Every structure is written in C-alpha cells, then in structure tokens.
Structure 1
C-alpha cells in the first residue's frame, strides 16, 4: 500500500512502528514528505518515557547515578513500548530490565521493585480494617483469612530495604550488602499510606502460603512441621497478631 492510499489506522500503526524502532522502513511507510520531521516526534517520545521512569524510580536513579539510569531507561524503552493508555502503567517491569543489566548487583532491581510496589499499593483496591472485637467468635479450625488486596512481596537477597529507607529520608546512603539469611520484602497499604517491611524467610513463606491457601489451620500445620508443636502454634499466634495489628488481614471467614 502506497503512503497516498494508507488508511488512518495504518498510518497510526506505521507511526507507532517508527516511534518504537526508528527504522528507515517504518519511516518510508509514512511517506517521504514526513520523514524529515519525524526525529522531533521520536525525541519527544523517548524523553517522555525516560521522564516517566525517572519519576517512578527516583531512588533508583539516585542510587545508580544519572548516566547509568539513562542507559537503563533507553534499553527498557527500546524493548518495551508502552502497553497501556496511560503512562502511569509504563513503570511495570523496569526492575526486570535492571536485573538483566546489573546481574551482579541485585540491590538495584530489589530497590526498583520496592519503588514500584509502594506506588502500586497506594492505588490498590481498598480494604476496610478488620473489626478485632469479632475475633472471639471465629472458628479457627475452619477459618479462612484474606490478605489485604494491596499486599505484594518478593524474596530479598540484599539490604535494599535499608538502602531505600536511607535514600527516601535523605540520610547518608548505606553500603549495599548481601543478607546473611534469606528474607522477604513485603509492601501493603494502611489507610492512605504504603508500608514496606523486611521479614524473615519463615514469615515470608507463611504469608505466601496464607495468600495461596487461606486456611489458618493449614498455616498452623505448616509452622508445626517447620518448628514443632509448641513453637509452631506459638509462632502462628504471634504472626497472626502482628498481621492483624498491621492490617495485613482484611477479612476472616
């Protein structure tokens, strides 16, 4: 199809292809008269996406520096064109690009995940705090617990939580370190505030098990298997108490 006979839909598709690839073929498909000014649009396209990533990941940018961040942003833009109607969604997946670019620095992508998760938690579905006075009537043998919709988690291998805390509070940056023991990072929202917490591997496993299964009795069985009868039951009670007070549990059936 010649440029003169191109439909509006095809023209839009060709223009998108040019913005994403910058190829000569894509430029020619738009038309020779237009190609001279196309670079302006592509520069604006890239600048907007770089700005979007910079706004979404300010602590990552500060942590790795402007030059490294710009290189990572361009790499991400070249392989991940916008996939939604709003640029707010473009931040998704940047942590994976960083993991590929900085394979020997897991603190970088874990820090990026923290920034993304905190933003996502803020716009997650609302969940009213659980009425604690109703807990006395719960049949715990058959109870099913629902974790708040804003909950997100990953396994943690570095002190990225401490790094984020220092950067976000304007304090002196801490050195990156690998954790001595495996752990987890969890993010959730209480009211209008997103929270970040590093938890040990057992609590992280317990939260993931509860999110998948929901059964408090099954959670107790898991902890008894890991720790023995007395310690397992005591740990289940202590974890539940902490989750309830932090509003990580949104409902109990």
Structure 2
C-alpha cells in the first residue's frame, strides 16, 4: 500500500470511523486505531469547551457534550490550528436547538469575542488628526475586529452574567430587534447592544464608507435635521469607542 493511500485511509477512519477504511488498514491495528480516535475526539471536544465556556455553563454538561459530539461528527478540523475548530459550532447548535434564539445569539457572542481578540490591530485616529478632516469627502474605515449581527433576545445580559459569575437573568425576547456588536480595542474585547438603526448604519458604512453617504442614508430614514444629528452622534460614539480605524479623504488618511 502506498503511503498516501495509507494516510488517506487513516484520515477517513479517524474522522468518520469508516469500517472499510479500518479493514484496509488491517485487523491487527484495530485496538490502536480506537486509541487514536478517542484521543482525536476528546481533543476536539476539549477545544469546544475551551472556546465556549459560557455556552457550556448555560447548556449544562450533558447537553453541551451531546452538542459537541454532534459537531465532531459533522465537521472535521478544517485549518492548521485548533483555534479555528470553534467556527461553525453555532450552526450545529442552531440545528439542534432551532427554537432557542437566546442560545444562538449567546454562541455568536462567545465566538465573536474570540475572533475579535485575534483580529488585526488598528489604532484609532487621534483627535488632533481628525481636526483637519474634510468630512464632505471623508471615508470611514471600521476596525477589522468588528463583528455584528441582529439581536432578538437579551443574550448580552446572559453572556455578561455568565462571564462575571453573577446570577443569570431569565431569557427574554427584546421588544424590538436590535444589534449586537463586538470589537477589540488595544487588549480588550467589547460587547455592546445597539438599536436597529445604528446596526444598519454600521452596515451602511461597511458597504460604502463615505460619511456623506451615511448622512444621506440617515436623512432618507429620519428626515434632514434628525438625520444629520444622528450621523454626528453616531460618528462621535464610534470614534470614542474605537470602532473607526481610519478616516480617509481624497488626499490623505488619518
């Protein structure tokens, strides 16, 4: 048997427990193969436990283990680092618990915080540099760590309580859909709940970073005076929170 074929059979058996692959590897290796597969699966389950401690606490040991095993069955590792194995676990949870949006959003928060922590660095522009910006031609560049999604539950409160070790509130649906945003500033990751308008505004900036376009979009939504005021308030908040990595104009970037 060629080495490449042997390696492929071992990979197939390890990830799927294929009896055909095991047979090609030889009956004498059966006991050893079981040891390798147990170690393989235990490491992947351990990776998910490390990546989703608050989801683990929320679900409990039994339900979390069952979900982790289901994820291992459906998704083998896909990257060179085990850190990436946490990708897609929220999809597994959504499939197993389709009627629990609080769990879906809690898992998203946990994963987004991890991804934001290892995202590229971005230092916010200084106040002095911003003083000379021509805002009519300015283009906003959001930090690469920013992650966002629609929120329908109080998952932010659930995650905060679980993370701080304080009493966890009852799960509730929000009165109206809002937005969850996660980003990193320096060595800290931050989670915030914003209203649906601000979530859409951030998406607008991702699609078209021109500040003028943001103002026009908000004027269309809110009217001229209120729209301009909202654009200024959002810009000040984003700059203060470190959501803006740079402000580019036709001739320079700050």
**TM-score normalised by length of structure 1:** 0.96
Task: Work out whether 1:27 is the aligned partner of 2:22.
Answer: yes
Aligned counterparts, 1:203-222, within 5 A:
203-222=198-217
* 51, 54, 58: which one aligns with 1:59: 54
CA RMSD of superposed structures (Å): 0.9
Q: Secondary structure at the match of 1:15?
A: helix
What's the CA shift for 1:85? 1.3
Distance 1:14 1:243 in 2: 52
Deviates more, 1:135-144 or 1:117-126: 135-144
Distance 1:176 1:56 in 2: 22
Q: Secondary structure at the match of 1:251?
A: strand
* 169, 172, 196: which one aligns with 2:191: 196
* 126, 140, 158: which one aligns with 2:153: 158
Distance 1:150 1:226 in 2: 28
Task: Work out whether 1:149 is the aligned partner of 2:144.
Answer: yes
For residue 90 of structure 1, what is the aligned residue in structure 2? 85
Distance 1:138 1:157 in 2: 37
**What do residues 103-138 of structure 1 show as CA deviations (whole Å, max 9, x unaligned)?**
110111211111111111111001112111122211
Distance 1:216 1:129 in 2: 17
* 70, 73, 80: which one aligns with 2:75: 80
Q: Secondary structure at the match of 1:157?
A: strand
- Tell me the matched-pair count: 248
**What do residues 31-89 of structure 1 show as CA deviations (whole Å, max 9, x unaligned)?**
22212321111111111100000000000000011111011111111010000111111
Q: Secondary structure at the match of 2:170?
A: coil
Give structure 2 stretches of 5+ with no counterpart: 249-254
For residue 3 of structure 1, what is the aligned residue in structure 2? none
Runs of 4+ residues over 4 Å off in structure 1: none
Task: Work out whether 1:174 is the aligned partner of 2:178.
Answer: no
Task: Work out whether 1:186 is the aligned partner of 2:169.
Answer: no
**TM-score normalised by length of structure 2:** 0.96
Task: Work out whether 1:123 is the aligned partner of 2:118.
Answer: yes
Deviates more, 1:15-24 or 1:48-57: 15-24
Aligned counterparts, 1:236-247, within 5 A:
236-247=231-242
Distance 2:73 2:47 in 1: 15
Distance 2:184 2:125 in 1: 14
For residue 70 of structure 1, what is the aligned residue in structure 2? 65
Distance 1:134 1:246 in 2: 17
What's the CA shift for 1:93? 0.8
Q: Secondary structure at the match of 2:24?
A: helix
Distance 1:26 1:158 in 2: 46
